Structure 1
Amino acid sequence: MRQSSDIGNSVLYTIPTNHNPTGRTMSRQHRVQLLALCSRYGLPIIEDGAYAELTFDGTPPPSLKSLDTGGQVLYLGSVSKSLAPGLRIGWMIAPEPVVQRLGDVKMQIDYGASSLSQQVLARFLTSGRYAQYLGWLRCELQRRCQAACQVLDEDFAGLADWQVPQGGFYIWLTLRDRLPMEMLFHKAAEAGILINPGDIYSSRHTQSLRLSYAYTTPEEFRRAVSRLAAVVRSSLAVSAKNSYTGLVASG
């Protein structure tokens, strides 16, 4: 952004809390700096808070919207990650003209969210059961995350780097040695493991993988990661051998 003098009709989309795919959470200091920078360039922000309620200790950093004094942040919330994707219910905090305009667009697309789904969620929220459920979910996600990080410590020490998430579903694993990701993808698939390579999210992250500890039991995660580590080691060995053969042939 600092390098571009013309941002035109651009908008910044960000998941600052428990980010997908990296699992990282932006510090308060960086949030303030981001707001100041976007304000300087007149750049609106869409803040996706879908994972914010999944912070393990229940106290995520303040949202960008809560720090916004100029009305430049449009905040999106949802229960699709915390409760049920099938409800198809979310909400938005934005200036009234924006809310009205997007409400019109929503009605033109599908006539709005199901009234029954909205009533079910409203009852769940007002009953206090949603808060109780979130408490359980955070504890369960933290348990799975801790188990996942322990497995990574055992199987990927020296092979990759990662940060321990503060919440959410994901761990961002970055391999230390270069490895053709397409080859790793196919080798992992042959071993019964489906991986999410980083380059499907950004061309800058060709050596990273997104791992999810949320959709599997700790036992399933352990088995999969152990197999994945074996695949990475064997693939690195093949890659090194091919590189050496190429050097000998060219020499």
Structure 2
Amino acid sequence: EDDLYRELWLNKQPPLPLKALDKNGHVLYVSSLSKTLSPGLRIGWIVGPEPVIERLADIKMQTDYGSSSLSQRVAAEWFKNGLYQQHMETVRTELRTRRKVMLNALETYAGDVATWTNPEGGFFIWVHIQPSISMKSLYSRALKRGILLNSGSIYAQETGSYLRLSYAYASLPDIDRSIKIIAELIRELQV
């Protein structure tokens, strides 16, 4: 069970992980601080049966000699002192604001050319482009305007007319400006 985004819920806490229901040790649970705290810490964890964990620990030691003990100590202090939970409350507040700005921009500029999901968490909104257009042309034109797009086909073959838009890092004005430009480009390409 890959649960990297669990702590990035925005509306309500997610249900317990599948691992919580695992009575027979069939589920390996994997998570990390890379999405919530810092990718640079390179700290993750896995929960599973002891023989599996021992084997994975051995493989990790053979490949990279372990993670930084300093990073592990920093993370331990964050958890122990409640700083991680405080940090996550701040992150969720910021992500809610960013998601709202992107959803408002989509409604304002792209309601006639796209549909989208309102995510319960994470960093992304999946946008379905309604008119049949060349996604390659959209990508190229957007790039010329300073916008890097992630076509859905990167993530799954059947998602060719989708975009995965991130609201995590761009400034609020850039989010609004970029959605406006993307909608204009879609209209240009459908003609």
TM bucket, shorter chain: over 0.9
Where 2:163 maps in the other structure, the secondary structure is strand
Code of the residue aligned with 2:77 in structure 1: it is R
User: Is 1:99 paired with 2:53?
Assistant: yes
Code of the residue aligned with 2:155 in structure 1: it is Y
How far apart are the structure 2 equivalents of 1:107 and 1:58?
Answer: 38
CA RMSD of aligned residues (A): 1.1
Match of 1:175 in 2: 129
Query: Alpha-carbon deviation of 1:187?
Result: 1.3
Match of 1:245 in 2: none
Match of 1:157 in 2: 111
Query: Alpha-carbon deviation of 1:235?
Result: 0.9
Code of the residue aligned with 1:204 in structure 2: it is E
Where 2:92 maps in the other structure, the secondary structure is helix
How far apart are the structure 2 equivalents of 1:63 and 1:155?
Answer: 37
Larger radius of gyration: 1
Match of 2:17 in 1: 63
Query: Alpha-carbon deviation of 1:158?
Result: 2.0
Where 2:127 maps in the other structure, the secondary structure is strand
Code of the residue aligned with 1:97 in structure 2: it is P
Once the two structures are superposed, residues 143-195 of structure 1 have per-residue CA deviations (whole angstroms, 9 ceiling, x without a partner) of 11011101111111021111101111000001112111111111111222110
Structure 1 residue aligned with 2:139, among 171, 178, 185?
Answer: 185
Match of 2:188 in 1: 234
Structure 1 contact 58–138 (Cα < 8 Å) conserved:
no
**Structure 1: unaligned runs, 5 residues or longer:** 1-46, 238-251
Query: Alpha-carbon deviation of 1:218?
Result: 1.6
How far apart are the structure 1 equivalents of 2:29 and 2:161?
Answer: 32
How far apart are the structure 2 equivalents of 1:180 and 1:155?
Answer: 20
Query: Alpha-carbon deviation of 1:71?
Result: 2.1
Structure 2 residue aligned with 1:218, among 162, 166, 172?
Answer: 172
How far apart are the structure 2 equivalents of 1:208 and 1:231?
Answer: 15
Where 1:211 maps in the other structure, the secondary structure is strand
Code of the residue aligned with 1:180 in structure 2: it is S
Structure 1 residue aligned with 2:33, among 79, 85, 107?
Answer: 79
How far apart are the structure 2 equivalents of 1:183 and 1:221?
Answer: 21
Code of the residue aligned with 2:119 in structure 1: it is P
Where 2:30 maps in the other structure, the secondary structure is strand
How far apart are the structure 1 equivalents of 2:161 and 2:42?
Answer: 34
Match of 1:141 in 2: 95
After TM superposition, the score normalised by the length of structure 2 is: 0.96
Once the two structures are superposed, residues 174-223 of structure 1 have per-residue CA deviations (whole angstroms, 9 ceiling, x without a partner) of 11121111111111112221100111111111100010000112211001
Where 1:77 maps in the other structure, the secondary structure is strand
How far apart are the structure 2 equivalents of 1:129 and 1:202?
Answer: 37
Match of 2:120 in 1: 166
What is the identity percentage for the equivalent residue pairs of Structure 1 and Structure 2? Answer: 43
Structure 1 contact 55–168 (Cα < 8 Å) conserved:
yes
Code of the residue aligned with 1:185 in structure 2: it is Y
After TM superposition, the score normalised by the length of structure 1 is: 0.74
Q: Summarize the alignment of residues 12-27 of structure 1 with structure 2, pairs less than 5 Å apart.
A: none
Return structure 1 stretches of 4+ with deviation > 4 angstroms. Answer: none
Query: Alpha-carbon deviation of 1:58?
Result: 5.4
